[in-house]
Structure formats: C-alpha cells, structure tokens
Amino acid sequence: MCKQQTHEHENTQAVINRLSRAIGHLESVKKMVADGRDCSEVLIQIAAVKSAVNNIGKIVLQDHINSCVVNAAETGDKKVLEDLNNAIEKCMK
C-alpha cells in the first residue's frame, strides 16, 4: 500500500473484505433513502458505515506503521514520515 513499492501488507485481505462489507452496507443505506425510510433510521445506518470506514482506516494505519514506517526508520527515509503526517492530518479533519 506504500507509494514507494508494491507489496502486500499483513492485513490486505482483511481490509478488502471490510471494504466490501462497508460498500454493501452503504448500498443498503442508499436503498433506505430511495425507499423513503425514516430519517432517524438512515442516520443510524450512516453512523454505522462511518464507524466501519474509520475502523478500516485504523487497520491500514497499523499495517502502514508496522511495515512502511518501520522500514523507513531503518533506512532513514523521512518522506514516508512526512507522507504519514499529511495523511493523518487529512483523516482527522
């Protein structure tokens, strides 16, 4: 998942599986809206999708730290740390 190289992280398949589930869940929410379901129900499901996406982000971040950042620290690659800081800043908005 790092820009510098193409490689598989420990949790790649788990991330893909969770993304597929989140996409399916979001499609269900879309159908709820199209069907005119109660707004409160829709909002609760949107919150569930947001939580699922946030949890996926945590897994990606952990994988990135355990793989790319550790490797960057060992090789002195400060660009990886700069990129990580920028990504975290965007995720926290």
In sign, the C-alpha dihedral spanning 30, 35, 40, 44 is negative
Residue 32 and residue 66 in contact, taking contact as beta carbons nearer than 8 Å? no
Domain residue extents for the chain:
12-91
Q: Residue 92, SS3?
A: coil
pLDDT grade for 5, boundaries at 50, 70 and 90: low
Mean pLDDT value across residues 48-67: 92
pLDDT grade for 80, boundaries at 50, 70 and 90: confident
Q: Decide: pTM greater than 0.85.
A: no
Rounded CA gap, 41 and 48, in Å?
11
Superfamily per CATH, domain 12-91: Metal-sensitive repressor, helix protomer (1.20.58.1000)
DSSP 36: T
Please write the tens of the pLDDT for every residue from 30-55: 999 999 999 999 999 999 999 999 99
